[in-house]
A and B are shown apart, each in its own frame.
Chain A
Amino acid sequence: MATHKITVTVNGAARAADVESRLLLVHLLRESFRLTGTHIGCDTTHCGACTVLLDGQPVKSCTVLAVQADGREVSTVEGLERDGKLHPVQEGFWEKHGLQCGYCTPGMLMTGCALLARTKEPSEQDIREAISGNLCRCTGYVNIVQAIQYAAAKLRER
């Protein structure tokens, strides 16, 4: 089976890899690039723990081939913090207790970031719809919604 030379821009930096056709994006990130912030949850396109941004859109990286990301931009949870300061969405999860076990959190953060990149003032319904592909088994979602609302307010202040 053929391998492919690919270049993916991950969190702003170009990274090259030789990949098998069947390698999944989540494995490229976690195993080849050692970016283990992106989690593997259900591995069946349901739970959203593996959510990353592909050209700015949140997608489930367990259901994308690494080779499909060739020449494209991927953002992961590792890219959120800047100069030691948490991204407002991360800060919101901290302030509003938006997590318990933390397993779904990287995916929730990425989906939250993508939502706030396109909507400044999302309603509660907008937020609930946006995260409807990300499962959380701990929080009951209430604090996650509040965390994203916190981040939205914080971003509007900027």
Chain B
Amino acid sequence: MIPAGFDYHAPATLSEAVALLSRYGEGAKVLSGGQSLLPLLKLRLGHAEHLVDIGRIPGLEYVKEEGGMLRIGGRTRESALEQSELIRGRYPILYDTVRVIADPLVRNLATVGGNLAHGDPGNDHPATMLALGAQVVAVGPSGERVIPIDKFFLGLFTTALQPDEILTEIRIPSPPPRSGGAYVKLERKVGDYATAAAAAQVTLGANGAFDHVGLALTNAGPTPVRSQDAEDALIGKRPTDAVIAEAARRAADASSPTPDRRGSVEYKREMARVLAGRALKQAVQRAGGQ
């Protein structure tokens, strides 16, 4: 399959890239790793007059902790995230997530920024970023702005990014002591989108009760779903089986999956419940709780 014709631009700097996006407006698309965009163009489900390849702009690939934040460059390849000792050691939820994104060949090109900017509720990073309370940095003609992840996913394939903005960085607050996180995904085979998946990030207080909880689901509606209701049910309580089961039930209730080859609505909601419970339990374990 061959995409419809487009012009290709490979700017050397971020400002050139933004200028190109401003000039071409809705007709332009940012090409990052291309692992979602190129299949869309090949299948002709999507169309672009201009592709602005940010792959030749230096300085957009990094994973580092700085100023109390984990900072991930927008163009960081998933494989780089996977190989990062920092991620493996300090952010197990991100390590869980990156390991189940597509397959290793795709991860050699796919980028973290692309995974978010694509706005696909079936992608794996969005739920994890919701659970982690991430911020997205976007650069446009009038400079840089920071978008809280809760305000980032607006609808199916729609994010808060303007057509002339580029996602340059993801910021994640470094977790305090007694924190842990996990991402648990049910997939039919390697490379598949989630039948259901859950991301949980928790911090436990000195008494062992939940101080902070982030809980979100993948492929459970037109946008990734954060379950505030389930989070509220946990705060201040000790992580007993009953408390976690109640939160998982609330998370599943907040989901609105669509039926497809991966299963019926009932099945997916049930899987969301099971996985939310497992993610929470593993997060608690990693936080050093019971």
Contact = CB atoms under 8 A, between A and B. Distances in A.
A54 B33 CA distance: 13
Contacts, number: 89
Contacts of A4: 8
B53 A133 contact: no
Interface in A91-132: 111, 129-130, 132
B5 A63 contact: no
Contact of A1 (B2, B7, B34): B7
Contact of A22 (B4, B103, B105): B4
Nearest to B107: A133
Give the interface size bracket for B toward A.
20 to 34
Interface string A79-94: 0000000000000000
A43 B106 CA distance: 13
A59 B42 contact: no
Contacts of B104: 58, 111, 129-130, 132-133
B39 A44 contact: yes
A4 B103 CA distance: 31
Q: Is the interface of A mostly helix, strand, loop or mixed?
A: mixed
A153 interface: no
Contact of A132 (B39, B41, B79, B190): B190
A11 B183 CA distance: 40
Nearest to B2: A22
Q: Give the size category of A's interface with B.
A: 20 to 34
A63 B38 contact: yes
B2 A65 contact: no
Contacts of A152: none
B191 interface: yes
A35 B15 CA distance: 38
Interface string A43-75: 111101001001001111011110110100000
Contact of B79 (A57, A68, A129): A57
Contacts of B109: 54, 59-60, 63-64
Given A22-B3, A57-B79, A64-B34, A51 B8 contact: no
B38 A2 contact: no
A16 interface: no
Nearest to A66: B8
7 contacts: A1-B6, A2-B7, A22-B6, A24-B38, A44-B1, A58-B108, A64-B34
Interface of B: 1-8, 10, 31, 34-35, 38-39, 41-43, 51, 53, 55, 79, 102-106, 108-109, 190-191
